[in-house]
Every structure is written in C-alpha cells, then in structure tokens.
Structure 1
C-alpha cells in the first residue's frame, strides 16, 4: 500500500487538471469543492494537493526513518503543515509569506536538540574511535607475536 502511494505521488501533482477550467465551484460525487480565496478551483486544487503531498511524503519519511537525525525531518514537515493550513483556511490573505515565523517556536527546539545530539554523537565517536584503534593495535601485536 505504501509503495503504491509513493509511486502515485507524482501523479497527484496533476490532479488539479481534472477540475473545470475557470470555475469557482466543482460538483463531484464526494461533494462540492469551492475555490475559497483562490481565483478558480484549479489553482486551489493545485495548492492543496501540492501541500498535502509534501505533508504526506515527509510524514512517511519521518515514520519510516530509523536514523538518529530523523527529527530534522520535522522541520520541513512543520513548514508544510502550516502552509497546508493556510491553503485550507482561505480567509487568510497570505499563504506562504509568514508561515516560517509561525513555525519558529517548533523549529528552534528541534534544531537545538539536533545540535546537542550531534555534539554528543561526535564526542562518543571520537572516544570509541580511540578505543577501537587501541583494540586493533593490540590485536595486531597479539597476532604478530603469535606468528613469531
């Protein structure tokens, strides 16, 4: 199911072309879709599907990633969520202008945490590297002394 979704995501970007051109309303079997604050339904659907696709892709990436830095994915995820809410809430007269400033309270703690984790990981890797070098040297000396 996940693979099918990932394969079909490029086609989601062109979903807006199915909407009638120049219309402000589109009656479908799922209900009526209005253009909201956009000029027409195609522009609205293009903005909506683009933001929704990015939210879904970064969400899947975050949930399936096993790396320690996966929390960095939350930064673009947060930005896309704010942008998606701006598209859905058509009463907002700006969509992508100030979303970054609204997401800063969420992004800054994540960045601080990532910097701290990378510092700790680097510090431990240096210590582990020194220990590993010592173990390798000891093993080589042991092997060389056994051969002689």
Structure 2
C-alpha cells in the first residue's frame, strides 16, 4: 500500500521544485534553509536534486521488487543516478553528470560480466527446452484436432 502511494505521488515529487521561489539563493522553509549551492538559484538546485532523487528511488524500487534474473542490470543506471545525486548534493564539485560513468565503471563491470555469464548459461539450457516445446505442441495439436 505504501509503495503504491509512493508510486502515485512520484509525478508530484518530480515537480516539487516549482514550489521554490524563482531567483532566490536561499529559501526558508519549515524543514530549514535550502541554499542554492553551486547553482544559480534554489529552484534550479531543487530541480536537479529532485530529478536525481526521483530516479534513484524509482530504480531502487524496481530493483527491490523485480524477480527476474536480469534484475542486476537495473543496478547499472542505479549507480549512475547515485553518483549524479552525490554530484548535485556536493556543490563543491564543478561538474555534474560528466565523469560519473568512469567512477561507476568498477561497479558496472562485474555486474555486466555476471549478466553475460547468466545469459550464456541460460542460452545453453534453452536447447533442452526445444524437445519439451515440441512435445507440448504435439499434445496441443492432438487436443485441438478432431481425432480424439
């Protein structure tokens, strides 16, 4: 139930930055003061922050709720979004979204190697399923034919 509410609220979270005043470098809220950091104003900072945070949350939920064997491939964009989010939060970094790929490469490579290996193993095992598929097709043809 909580997951459903969060997923429905995601578009509203994505546009949260529009509540911030334009052209202001510091915004006082009941959560505390929000400064623009390395951005021109608070609204631009919140846009970058909320966009990255939304993608981190959605890919994290997708990874945690997926039951497919390829779910580890979701970790690749997840790590990219995490590095981008850390670049937005750490405003002392002069670049955002430029070198995140190279920093996340040590995490991405083992995942890719694992996925290629799993794909290879799954491809080898699918040869056995051709015989089973043929038997199932023959049984369906018998059931659907008039020769019962």
TM-score (norm 1): 0.88
Q: Which residue of 2 aligns with 1:80?
A: 81
Structure 2 CA distance for partners of 1:139 and 1:19, relative to 1, 3 Å? closer
SS of the counterpart of 1:32?
strand
Structure 2 CA distance for partners of 1:137 and 1:70, relative to 1, 3 Å? closer
5 Å-filtered alignment, 1:24-103, equals 24-103=25-104
Structure 2 CA distance for partners of 1:129 and 1:26, relative to 1, 3 Å? same
Deviations 1:19-68 (A, max 9, x none): 11100101111111111000000000000000000000000000000000
Q: Which residue of 2 aligns with 1:112?
A: 113
Q: Which residue of 1 aligns with 2:22?
A: 21
* Counterpart-to-counterpart distance in 2, 1:51 and 1:6: 16
Deviation (angstroms), 1:126: 1.1
Query: Number of matched residues?
Result: 141
Q: Which residue of 2 aligns with 1:12?
A: 13
* Counterpart-to-counterpart distance in 2, 1:8 and 1:64: 18
* Counterpart-to-counterpart distance in 2, 1:137 and 1:37: 63
Structure 1 unmatched ranges of 5 or more: 141-146
Structure 1 stretches of 4+ with a deviation exceeding 3 A read 133-140
